[in-house]
Amino acid sequence: MKKQMPYFIFFICLLISQPGSATEPEHSNIFQPGEVLTYSVHWNFIRLGSIVIQTYPDSSKRNPLHFTVSMRVRSNPDIPFIDIDELNRTLIHGTDITARCYRAVHRHGSDSRQLFAVYDETKGSAYYSAWNASRDAYENIRVIPDTPPYLDGPSLFFFTRHAIHSGKQISMPTMINGKIEITHFDFRFPREDIQSDLFPHGIHTKRYSGFADWEGGTSAGMSGEFSGWISDDTAAVVIRSEVKILLGSLVIELEKYERPGWIPPLVTVCEPLSRKGD
């Protein structure tokens, strides 16, 4: 389990053609400065940790179409064999939802790394570096030429929200450890009402599924398959995600939210639960 955790953390971010060819959904209001989403991460009945995702406007104010998203991943301190604290921050283009600049500090036990990636739109290339602070040395530095706009962990999370109402199958370039890989998404599922601890009476959602077609997506005890349920409204808030592994599934579930003005599309007492295809 400990060996698998770095890959688990990336799949948690999943919660995907070229970005320019992806549909521009009618339902798109996903970037809300001040939004704070808190998720629990469980395997069977064991809580592995939590994720907090926050949205900010571009602090540089140079481009109103850019948004900054932070994703903090922390393991459960009550589990002695897992010690993870990751802070990821991505500047995301608000139109195609691809990453422009990524910075992260990852601590796994006594090992600490600083990651950096930036996309150069004019050259169509990307730069990636991984600095091992524990060893005081670079582990990886590379320039990736001929690179299309791509997704990373935080932007993947928002891309699923952006595309959930598209009704299409979409494949997206995805940066994994300094390499461009492909992640496949299927957004063709009908509406599905689900229950959770936060919404015990049910909430209207749209389901999607996906497959990680890259090293790490189909290894480390994982099948590469994942799925998610996103609120069926313009906010498109991720309610639940599941990642299949050899020993069951990881479940990532919304447990707290702050989103100004959001009224979740709850199932009313007059509606049957689990109605599909509406």
Give residue-wise pLDDT tens across range 100-112: 999 999 999 999 9
d(CA 92, CA 146): 20
Q: What is the CA radius of gyration of the chain?
A: 18
d(CA 59, CA 98): 18
* pTM attached to this predicted model: 0.84
State the average pLDDT over residues 5-12: 48
d(CA 210, CA 202): 24
d(CA 143, CA 146): 10
How is the chain split into domains, by residue range?
5-258
- Please name the fold of domain 5-258: YmcC-like fold (2.40.360)
Instruction: Locate 263 and state its tokens.
Output: 């009224």
Task: Give per-residue pLDDT as tens, 167-192.
Answer: 999 999 999 889 999 999 999 999 99
State the DSSP code for 198: S
Indicate if the pLDDT at residue 4 is higher than 90.
no
Instruction: Locate 145 and state its tokens.
Output: 């030429």
Band (275; pLDDT cuts 50, 70, 90): low
β partners of residue 118: 101, 127
